[in-house]
Amino acid sequence: MPFKSQGYNPLFDPATDNLPIDPEIQKMLNKPLVDDSGFSQEDQAFLQQIIAKFEEGTIHRYEPSSLLNVAVYDSLDTARKGKADQNAFNILSTLRNIYDLWTVEQSPTYQVKNMIHSIRLTKERLETELGDVYIV
């Protein structure tokens, strides 16, 4: 039996629907929450390495191949190269998000902490299988 709307929501007030939001309130709402506990030492070191590689131009924002350690990559078989390529794309998109958030706030927000920790663990897991295939 499909859901049928009753046409009434007691929490909806059409008089306030789509009213403008004060710019200061919107600015406050858009600001990411900072986690006062900070980063772990491993995550902090990894974050600093990533930021440095973006700023010196070693990692290019839209070139997953810029993450690859070419000497190790070239020694891999075709299947492992494919795995390294696929994960380089995913890792780079997350690193780009981390860099963008970090340049805005430069503090340990929950989003950055979660992403940096997750991507560090992913990279370490892949390196146990593929070797030191990424430059980060």
Residue 67 domain-assigned (yes or no) = yes
Q: What pTM was computed for the model?
A: 0.79
**pLDDT over 90 (residue 30):** no
Residue 6 domain-assigned (yes or no) = no
Write down the pLDDT at residue 5: 55
More confident position, 30 or 96: 96
Residue 114 domain-assigned (yes or no) = yes
User: Percent of the chain having pLDDT more than 70?
Assistant: 95
Mean of pLDDT values over 44-60: 96
Write down the pLDDT at residue 20: 86
Burial degree of 66 (CB within 10 A; 0-12, 13-18, 19+): middle
Residue 99 domain-assigned (yes or no) = yes
Residue 20 domain-assigned (yes or no) = no
Residue 7 domain-assigned (yes or no) = no
Specify whether the CB–CB gap between 136 and 50 falls below 8 A: yes
Residue 46 domain-assigned (yes or no) = yes
Residue 71 domain-assigned (yes or no) = yes
Mean of pLDDT values over 78-91: 96
Mean of pLDDT values over 97-125: 93
Write down the pLDDT at residue 19: 81
C-alpha span between 38 and 22 (Å, rounded): 31
Domain of 56 in residue numbering reads as 36-130
Instruction: State how many domains the chain has.
Output: 1
Q: How confident is the model at residue 2 (pLDDT cuts 50, 70, 90)?
A: low
Average per-residue pLDDT for the chain: 91
**pLDDT over 70 (residue 3):** no
Pick from 29, 35, 33: nearest CA to 117: 35
